[in-house]
Structure 1
Amino acid sequence: MENVLRPLIVIGGSVVLTLLVGWAVDRLLQRADRRHHETPLWGLLRRCRFPYQLVLCAALLRGSYAQAELAREHSAAIGQLLSLVLIGATAWLLMRISTAVVESSYARYANQHQDAERVRRVRTQITLIQRIVTAVVGVLAVAAMLLTFPAFRAAGASLLASAGIVGIVAGVAAQSTLGNLFAGFQIAFGDMVRIGDTVVVDGEWGTIEEVTLTYLSVRTWDERRITMPVSYFTSQPFENWSRGGAQMTGAVYFHLDHSAPMDAMREKLQAILLECPAWDGRKWALAVTDTTPSTLQVRAVVSAKNSDDIWTVRVTVREQLIRWLADEHPYALPRVNTMAAAPAPEAEAVPSPRDGRPPRKATADGPGQL
């Protein structure tokens, strides 16, 4: 009877104690969340309930398993398994806590600052810091798990002795990866590009959607995702439309006939912009910027508060001005002359004033020579 009650009390007691402590901690976090609703930290920490309970249960079982006197012939293997579970659960709990702290800090900063550019910069930096913490905790957890095996502990001295050579070889073999890693730090803390910035890279227009230590994800206007190494942004030129403020100025070009009514076009452009909600009212202009033997190049300049609105204003101006010209002034649109050139008329003969010889025909240089 004792052989049955002892394991039941040890294992069952550990599980019951874990559930009670987990319930109590969750109630305290819930009460703190109601009292401090402006801080999302307590609500985010409630997501750590399961890894916290797993850590507590694994620690209790690891410490009291010897008193259970269960499967003594496999006690070493079971103890090592519980140690591995404890290390993994602890790493999981630390990752959850760091994520909660980072998200709470970002939410508080975003609520206190209205500058969208600064908020995007902080979001980019916090995202990379969170990934670094996750990577470090994961590596340390794996190392701690490996050190629980006697073979790895015995090989530790030789591994440390050869760490310098291995580091040199790994550095040479992973130059590209290390370059992207340091480029990620440069982008995050050098404020080159932020999450939410509108950029033009390699001829593609899009928005920075994700920033990691090794790559960036750009979401294009047609919902495609372009994954690019972060080293591209530190070694190649690119356009950042969100840099220095969200307000933008755009241009719309038209190729028109020389008879295009410029004054009427300026009045129509102003009327179109007054009815366009995306126009911010800062700037507009229309002028002839170039001319060719057959057309005029006319440029309309408009402004908007951000990159999305400038696209809307440009396409609205282009569409409505072309439609207005086609309906009201069709002669102003460029025309292509497809008629074949008419043949030159045959020159008449010039009579001879001196004799009766038949005169020669006139040439392109003048009348025929006698």
Structure 2
Amino acid sequence: MIDLLAQLTAFRAEFSPLLEPLAKLLGAIAVAVMLHAAIFAFLQRGMLQEDTFLTRFLHRARRPLRLALALLAIALVTRSLTFPDRLAAILGHGVLIAIIVLVGWSVLVVMDLLTERSLRHHRLDTADNLMARKFLTQVRILRQAVTIVTVLLTVAAVLMTFEGVRRYGVSLFASAGAAGLVVGLAARPVLSNLIAGIQIALTQPIRIDDVVVVEGEWGWIEEIFATFVVVRIWDWRRLVVPLSYFIEQPFQNWTRQSATIMGSVFWYVDYTMPVEEMRVEVERIIRASPRWDGKVANLQVVETDKEAMQLRALMSSHDSPTNWDLRCEVREKIIGWIQTTHPASLPRLRAEMVAGDGASLSGHPSEAGPRPVGSA
């Protein structure tokens, strides 16, 4: 019991000189936090209700400013306080780390604000949004790349404040052969996708809201992240593809230069179908549709065989979803037109029956015996 009391007394004697400086330090930090809250509560009633660049900046910088005020309070108070050398070193190290984090955090906040401001002038909800999609893709990918680099540099700067990490870093550079090879192989997927992201931002084989066919799936480029791309498929599924795929593998981009696209509809009809009459009807239906963009509308016989003719109609629209609807509309209306006006011209099989003496029942000579004859 006596030993415990002696230890407590020694502990109190050792740390009692630190209680007053620590209390003042914590009090200064608390005052800084309360001052920050009071300032923003005052601004919230007036200026922060408006949608201006300064308002958006204050909203984004609220937490970094709290940290900055706390660091300022620590810097002002520690000038008048006396700490033991070890505690002063720990406190100085912590302040240095906080300053590094604050600088990296501020860079991210400023970058987000500038990105948001620049994107306000480019809208995707317009008919001709090609330039907006180009700009949006570049800005988003480059912002993600800058974010990753900023975070990595901030973490590296924080780690380099530790003496053990600095010694390890120097030894690592001294033996950079094997260690660099191991690190390079381990980081290859991340680095390849990061480099692919920069390539995509500069060359733009894909852009936000592009219509693509990837792995046999048709959809839109919904999001481009630092290492992967999200493709929104037509049935609302999401296909997640690595960024490097769009650099290394072939894929279809239906809106590379323009969203305008042509579509085709095929019919198989009998040889008795009057093609010119059907061409007039197809063009009439296409030209009457609000989904047509006024560029391409025609009908052609593209194939024939022993059973039927294959007819193809071409039609254009200002984007692929509209063209899909236009193709379905034309296909359905022409089927109804054929059923109403030329039902005998639907695809069918014919057979010719002959008598035993080789005479055709239809009056044409034929070989002996009945045989089916397939025709168009």
Same fold judged by TM-score > 0.5?
A: yes
2:144 alignment partner in structure 1: 131
Q: Does 1:12 align with 2:61?
A: no
1:353 aligned partner: none
Range with greater deviation from structure 2 (162-171 or 198-207) = 162-171
Moved more, 199-208 or 296-305: 199-208
Write out aligned runs for 1:36-55 (5 A): 40=53, 42-55=55-68
1:238 and 2:251 are equivalent in the alignment: yes
Q: Which amino acid aligns with 1:16?
A: V
**Could you tell me whether the CA contact under 8 Å between 1:19 and 1:53 is conserved in 2?**
no
Q: Which runs of 5+ in 1 are unaligned?
A: 349-362, 365-370
- Return the alpha-carbon distance in structure 1 between the equivalents of residues 84 and 233 of structure 2: 60
Partner of 2:218: 205
CA offsets per residue over residues 32-53 of structure 1, 9 Å max, x none? 995xx6x646425522212321
Q: Which residue of 1 aligns with 2:331?
A: 318
User: Counterparts of 2:237 and 2:313 in 1: how far apart (Å)?
Assistant: 30
Q: What is the count of residue pairs matched by the alignment?
A: 343
Aligned counterparts, 1:14-93, within 5 A: 14-20=29-35, 24=39, 27=43, 31=47, 34=50, 40=53, 42-61=55-74, 64=77, 80-81=93-94, 83-93=96-106
Structure 2 gap ranges (5+): 1-16, 359-366, 369-376
**2:133 maps to amino acid:** R
| TM-score normalized by the length of structure 2 | 0.76
Report the CA distance between 1:252 and its aligned residue: 0.9
Contact persistence 1:250–1:302 (CA under 8 A): yes
In structure 1, how many angstroms separate the alpha carbons of the residues matched to 2:347 and 2:204? 47
Structure-2 separation of matches of 1:18 and 1:239: 55
1:269 aligns with 2:254: no
Instruction: Specify whether residues 324 and 58 from structure 1 end up closer, same or farther in structure 2 by C-alpha distance, changes over 3 A only.
Output: farther
Instruction: Provide the alpha-carbon RMSD of the alignment.
Output: 3.8
User: After superposition, where does 1:165-184 map in structure 2 within 5 Å?
Assistant: 165-184=178-197
Q: Is the 8 A contact 1:325 1:333 kept in 2?
A: yes
Cα displacement string for residues 340-364 of structure 1 (whole angstroms, at most 9, x for unaligned residues): x86x64449xxxxxxxxxxxxxx96
Measure how far apart 1:9 and its partner are.
4.8
Q: Is the 8 A contact 2:33 2:69 kept in 1?
A: yes
Residues 165-218 of structure 1 show CA distances to partners (whole Å, capped at 9, x for unaligned) of 433333345445443333222221012221111112222211111223432221
Q: Say which of 288, 296, 318 aligns to 1:305.
A: 318
Greater mean alpha carbon deviation, residues 47-56 or residues 172-181 = 172-181
SS of 2:310 mapped into structure 1: strand
TM-score (norm 1): 0.77
Q: For residue 242 of structure 2, what is the aligned residue in structure 1?
A: 229
1:279 matches 2:292: yes
Identical-residue share of aligned pairs (%): 34
Greater mean deviation of Cα atoms: 203-212 or 151-160 = 151-160
Moved more, 136-145 or 40-49: 40-49
Deviation at 1:227, TM superposition (A): 1.8
Q: Which amino acid aligns with 2:26?
A: I
Q: What letter corresponds to residue 303 of structure 1 in structure 2?
A: S
Query: The residue matched to 2:213 in structure 1 has which SS?
Result: strand
Aligned to 1:157: 170
Pick closer, same or farther for the CA change 1:333–1:75 going to 2, 3 Å. Answer: farther
What corresponds to 1:290 in structure 2? 303
Cα 1:191–1:23 shift into 2, 3 Å: farther
Matched-pair contact (CA < 8 Å) for 1:41–1:100: no
Amino acid across the alignment from 1:226: L
Any idea what SS the aligned residue of 1:282 has? coil
